[in-house]
Structure 1
Amino acid sequence: MAAALLVLAFFHLAIFSRLAFRRQESAPDHDLPVSVVVCARNESLALQRLIPLLMDQDHREFEVIVVNDRSDDDTWEVLQWMRPEYPRLKPVNIQADEKFSYGKKIALGVGVRSAKYPHVLVTDADCLPVGRDWVSLMAAGFKEGRQIVIGHSPYERQPGLTSLLERYDGFSKAVQYIAFAQAGLPYMGVGRNMAFTSDLFFGAKGQHRHRQLMSGDDDLFINEVARANNTAAMADGRSYMTTRATPDLATWFRRKRRHYTTARFYRFGHQLLLTLLPAARMVLWATILYLLFTGHVQAALAGLAVELLVFLPIGMMAMRRLGAGAIIWLALPLEWLFLLLDPCIYLSTLIIKPQRWK
């Protein structure tokens, strides 16, 4: 148990505490020109909600590039209809070609190539900014020569078990990748709220690398190019992009399975750290239970006290910084659930390969 406590102490005191105890407010940068890129496939209704909110951003110089990625609904017609009303809107069309099979990465590359400005901010059509300072706050992350800005994209709250699991999983993952980035160890970002320079994207061949993967290429792009000196993490609540909730448990399960296909491509050091954290949690709880059942009550209570008085409050405060709200009071039982659920989902990807996204 001592080894598990030491590992967890490192993660909580050296990494997660940066997010939990530091003020996360930032000063918006209203002046940096920014190209916002949105990749959309069959998202005509979502775009009618998103585009007016993007156009209402309190930022001096920006454009919104929407890449219609082989949609077979009326997405392209909606974009053409909205274009005269919004001069900043720049629709780009990709036509379907049965000879080629490719995912979102190509659409993103087309959008970045179409960008007028070197600083590119990306999101998805099913996301909504929480306020008018989203662009300016993400732009502020580029100060001091930074080339990558990692943002947060929480899932919208809906009633039911699926939303509870999805939101907790999203917040716990965000605590990890944002706190790691703040500690100088960036390892991933989400394509729903992320910014980078076009030079970095094309210099790393971001359009073409990992095209064979079904999801998570935004994770791997960040994992390859992000370093302590070129990456900023934005945790200001005004910089968030809320994401549409997953409709049902089966869809969420499939998405979780697809995401596991990318972790094996992370740099070895990141894989090691991300494996140590849940492993230490499992060892700690298993040891506490073992000690209780074998009569070593004092030792079990000592380990439990460290968890409940040190580790759990830090984790809850970090999640609260990211806007988790009341879900933090369920952090402990949900942690137990995911300690059992995540290995099962990962093993399922080894038995049945996830289907490729099209």
Structure 2
Amino acid sequence: MLTIILYFFIAIVVVQLSYYLGVFSKFSFAKTQNITTKRIPISVIVCAKNEAENAIKYIPLLIEQDYPDFEIVLIDDASSDETLEIFELFESQYPNLIRLVKVKNNEAFWGNKKYALTLGIKAAKKEYLLFTDADCYPTSKNWITAMSSQFTMNKTIVLGYGAYDRIEKSFLNKIIRFETLLTAIQYFSWAKVGYPYMGVGRNLAYKKEEFFNVNGFISHIQVRSGDDDLFINQAANSNNTTIAYSPESFTYSKPKEKYKDWFIQKRRHVATANYYKTFDKIQLGVFYCSQLLFFILAIILLSFQFQWIIVLSLFLVRYIAAWLVVGFSAGKLKENDLKFWFPIVEIVLIFTQINIFITNIFSKPVHWK
């Protein structure tokens, strides 16, 4: 039996190395990205529901963007706080820059962010759309420039990086940021090898025609989440998709500070992945299962000291390869502190994901506010 487990362990190590060295390394060891200002007309779209506090802080950072041709489309999705009043104030101050879309609750699309976004997209006057959330802020005045610089005649979808603020001396913050880093490594790398499967609405851009080519969100309108990843899963391909990863292209947002809140957020993300294309669900499932089995089988074999030299050698080879890939990626995405926590955070995250999968089986997660 231990011999069979050993062979299985070897196969799992090969799978893990295939992911890290065969796929994820495509992003980790990619060249530095160049930024050139383009005069592509951009509509920055922000959909908000009860985000008054964040709107006051972050909308001015969008207004201050240094870009020759852009507008800001603010969508108030039937907020019950002062979000609409704040948006109206910005509109009155910058009538030539800001376009306001007021969404009233629709019985057929009650509380559905996709309905609100669709109205905002239709109201946008520019040809290219750049999305972020009301609780996000760009890293510099060159955010629009950095994201739009990756558009070409063929590349009409740009996947960006939506990071989270660092909270010192918070282990939960390291878990959240590492999970965000690992997710970015995955969707950036798969996009580079020609199989884009998701993006994040905190930092995402595409040409308006891509939205209408797939009839917008209609194929998954019944799914409350997925205005970003499900849309990209449907619309993106090897020909029309590229990535933006220069530091000026990043956005940041405040992370959850309680494990319970983050756990609920991740439950929504995992539930949405069930609607991905079959290939994407398989490759994600194989990766996470191989992560879990790698540790379980290694522990079993080492506890019995069965061929421990071989097992330990394979264990170290996989760890070094993964650490190098994660480390170089962390450097690109300005998450350098996370690479030192990689061995610990990875294990915690794996078992957290198992908990999420099991919880989602027995109850449905809560979605848009």
TM-score by length of 1: 0.95
Paired AA for residue 132 in structure 1: K
1 CA distance for matches of 2:109 and 2:242? 36
The answer for the alignment partner of 1:15 in structure 2 is 23
Moved more, 99-108 or 163-172: 99-108
Distance in 2, matches of 1:162 and 1:298, equals 35
In 2, are the aligned partners of 1:172 and 1:319 still within 8 Å (CA)? no
Distance 2:267 2:166 in 1: 22
State the match for 1:74 in structure 2: 82
**Are 2:186 and 1:172 aligned?**
no
By how many angstroms is 1:144 displaced? 3.8
Matched, 1:321 2:332: yes
Q: How far apart are 1:18 and its partner, in Å?
A: 1.7
Which residue identity is paired with 2:54?
A: A
TM-superposition CA deviations, 1:115-166 (whole Å, max 9, x none): 1111101110000000011111111121142121000001111243332221
Residue matched to 1:162 = 172
Residue of structure 2 equivalent to 1:145: 154
Amino acid at match of 1:43: E
**Alpha-carbon spacing, 1:180–1:100, altered in 2? closer, same or farther (3 Å):** closer
Choose from 287, 305, 325 the match for 2:316.
305
Kindly state the Cα deviation for residue 98 of structure 1 after the two structures are TM-superposed. Answer: 5.7
1:108 aligns with 117
Alpha-carbon distance, 1:99 to partner: 6.8
**Within 1, Cα distance between the matches of 2:102 and 2:294?**
52
After TM superposition, give the deviation of residue 97 of structure 1 in Å.
4.5
Please report how far the alpha carbon of residue 274 of structure 1 lies from its aligned counterpart in structure 2 after TM superposition: 0.7
Select which of 41, 47, 53 maps to 1:33. Answer: 41
| Kept in 2: contact 1:30–1:58 (CA 8 A) | no
Residue pairs, 1:222-261, within 5 angstroms: 222-261=232-271
**Cα 1:56–1:104, aligned 2, differ >3 Å: closer, same or farther?**
same
Query: 2:118–2:216: 8 Å Cα contact kept in structure 1?
Result: yes
The number of residue pairs the alignment matches comes to: 358
In structure 2, the residue matched to 1:268 is 278
Q: Is the 8 A contact 1:284 1:303 kept in 2?
A: no
Question: How many angstroms apart in 2 are the aligned matches of 1:185 and 1:318?
Answer: 19
Letter in 1 for 2:361: L
CA deviation after TM superposition for structure 1 residue 181, in Å: 0.9
Contact 2:17 2:318 in 1 (8 A): no
Conservation of the 8 A alpha-carbon contact between 2:88 and 2:100: yes
**1:125 and 2:134 aligned:** yes
Deviation at 1:197, TM superposition (A): 1.3
Indicate conservation of the 8 Å contact 2:156/2:207, yes or no. Answer: yes
Secondary structure of the 2:309 match is helix
Structure 1: which amino acid aligns with 2:183? K
What's the C-alpha RMSD, in Å, of the aligned pairs?
A: 1.6
Unaligned residue ranges in structure 2 (runs of 5+): 1-8
User: How much does 1:310 deviate?
Assistant: 1.9
Matched, 1:279 2:289: yes
Matched, 1:47 2:58: no
Rounded Cα–Cα distance in structure 2 between residues aligned with 1:18 and 1:266: 22
Q: Does the alignment pair 1:338 with 2:346?
A: no
Distance 1:336 1:247 in 2: 20
Using the TM superposition, name which of 156-165 and 325-334 deviates more.
156-165
Structure 1 residues 336 and 93: alpha-carbon distance in aligned structure 2, compared to 1, 3 A threshold: same
Matching of residues 90-109 of structure 1 within 5 Å: 90-97=99-106, 100-109=109-118
What does residue 215 of structure 2 align with? 205
State the match for 1:349 in structure 2.
360
SS of structure 1 residue aligned to 2:164: coil
Structure 1 range deviating more: 310-319 or 196-205: 310-319
Task: Give distance in 2, aligned partners of 1:115 and 1:215.
Answer: 22
**Structure 2: distance between partners of 1:33 and 1:97:** 31
Moved more, 91-100 or 154-163: 91-100
* TM-score (normalised: structure 2): 0.93
Q: Distance in 1 between matches of 2:104 and 2:239?
A: 39
Give the deviation of 1:335 after TM superposition. 0.9
Letter in 1 for 2:356: I
Q: CA deviation at 1:100?
A: 4.9
Q: Cα deviations across residues 10-52 of structure 1 (Å, max 9, x unaligned)? A: 2112221122112232223331111111001111221122221
